[in-house]
Structure 1
Amino acid sequence: MTRWVALLPAEGSESYEKAGTAAGVSASAVGPDLPGSFGGLGATWDLTSERSPAEVAAGLGLPEPLEAVALTPMHWSVVPLDGQRVKRTLLLAVRPGTAAELVARLEAELLAMPAHISTIRSWALSRVDQERTPSRWTHCWEQEFADVEGLTGEYLGHPFHWTCVDRWFDNEVPGAGVVEPLVAHVFCWSERAVLVDD
């Protein structure tokens, strides 16, 4: 099984909800991106499947997702949370030629966020599988929150975010701005857990 994230147009995205019953699919969740999202296409489709999102969509007579990435999970933690939750996805691209040491430091500081930010529930950091899905994105950083305020409030406004993590996204910070300026920061409601133990 492979975890995938696909970006879809918002119009018609509800049709992808039936993917959860398709052959070879163990989990599927789709939702329109909420206000405040940017860099996406209008909806996000999380899929765990033996087949690619394009193959699953074709089997259901649905349009092929405009952008989909296969994920290679690095680290994750699953925290029980009942009912509806907000699933946030950050797709980012590390600049070509960035030293491996700097990439490792960026990853380590992303992974440190849950220890500082109490509103993060389940989370996962993955690299994009470039062999399966050649992509402009290199990493996918995902979290689940009990509500939107957990993301837009404590997470985005937390001192650890601004002092330790945000510098990696600022190309004016000498020696640290290694992330390309264009990112996909998208979040949507989900009726069930998206990030689960494999």
Structure 2
Amino acid sequence: MTRWVALLPAEGCEPYEKAGTADGVSASVVGPDLPGSFGGQGATWDLTSERSPGEVAARLGLPVPPDAVALAPVRARAEPLDGPRVKRTLLLAVRPGTPAELVARLEADLLAMPEHITTIRSWALSRVDRTRTPSRWTHVWEQEFADVEGLTGEYLGHAFHWTCVDRWFDGEAPGGGIVEPFVAHLFRWSGRAVLVDG
């Protein structure tokens, strides 16, 4: 089984939820992105499947997602959280030619965020498996929050975010700026857990 993230148009995204009952699929959660999201198509589909999102969609007679990536997990942690939660997905691309040690430092800083930001519940960092899904993206950083304010408040405004993580996205920061200027910052409500330990 592989976990996938696919970006869909918001209109007509609901039928993709039924993929959870398809052969070879263990989980399917989809929903429209909330206001404040950017860089996506309007909805995000989280799929755990033996087949790609395109193959699953075609078998269901649904349009093939315009953007989908296979995830190669780096590390993840699932925390119990009852009821609906906000699932946030950040897709990013490290600049070609970036030294491996700088990529490792970026990954380490992302993985340190849950130690400092208490509103992060479950989380997962993955590299994009570009052998399975050629993509402009290289990494996917995901979190679950109890509510929108946990993301838009403490997470985005936290000092650790601005001093240790944001420099990797800032082309003017000395020793930073290894992330391409395009990202997809997407968040939506989910009625159940998406992220699992790994």
Tell me the TM-score normalized by structure 1.
Answer: 0.99
Matches for 1:89-128 after TM superposition, within 5 Å: 89-128=89-128
1:141 aligns to 2:145 (yes or no): no
Aligned to 2:32: 32
Given the alignment of the two structures, is residue 178 of structure 1 paired with residue 178 of structure 2, yes or no?
yes
- Deviation of 1:196 after TM superposition, in Å, equals 1.6
Measure, in 2, the Cα distance between the counterparts of 1:70 and 1:33. Answer: 20
Q: Paired residue for 1:129? A: 129
Aligned partner letter, 1:195: L
Task: Report the secondary structure of 2:137's partner residue.
Answer: coil
| Equivalent AA in structure 2 for residue 81 of structure 1 | L
**Aligned counterparts of 2:119 and 2:66: Cα–Cα separation in 1:** 31
The aligned counterpart of 1:53 is: 53
What's the secondary structure of 1:154's corresponding residue?
helix
Q: Deviations over 1:44-78 (max 9, x none)?
A: 00000001000110111100000000000000001
SS in 2 for 1:82: coil
Unaligned runs of 5+ in 1: none
After TM superposition, where is structure 1 displaced by more than 3 Å over at least 4 residues in a row?
none
- Structure 2's unaligned 5+ residue stretches are none
> SS of the residue aligned with 1:62?
coil
3-state SS, counterpart of residue 89 of structure 1: strand
Partner of 1:18: 18
Residue 83 of structure 1 aligns with an amino acid whose one-letter code is G
For residues 39 and 89 of structure 1, what CA distance do their matches in structure 2 show?
11
Shift of 1:23: 0.6
**Partner of 1:101: helix, strand, or coil?**
helix
Task: Look up the match of 1:166.
Answer: 166
Specify the code of the residue in structure 2 equivalent to 1:146.
Answer: A
CA distance in 2, matches of 1:151, 1:51: 31
Pairwise CA RMSD: 0.6
**Identity, % of aligned positions:** 82
Amino acid at match of 1:179: V
In the TM superposition, what whole-angstrom CA distance separates every residue of 1:86-128 from its partner, at most 9, and x where no partner exists? 0000000000000001000000000000000000000000000
Which position in structure 2 is the counterpart of 1:65? 65
Q: Structure 2: which amino acid aligns with 1:147? A: D
| Partner residue, 2:6 | 6
Tell me how far apart the structure 1 counterparts of residues 160 and 74 of structure 2 sit (CA, whole Å): 21
CA drift of 1:174 comes to: 1.8
Number of residue pairs aligned between Structure 1 and Structure 2:
198
* TM-score, normalised via structure 2 length: 0.99
Q: Using the alignment, how far apart are the partners of 2:77 and 2:197 within structure 1? A: 8
- How far the C-alpha of 1:17 sits from its partner, in A, is 1.1
Partner of 2:79: 79
Separation in 2, partners of 1:189, 1:71? 21
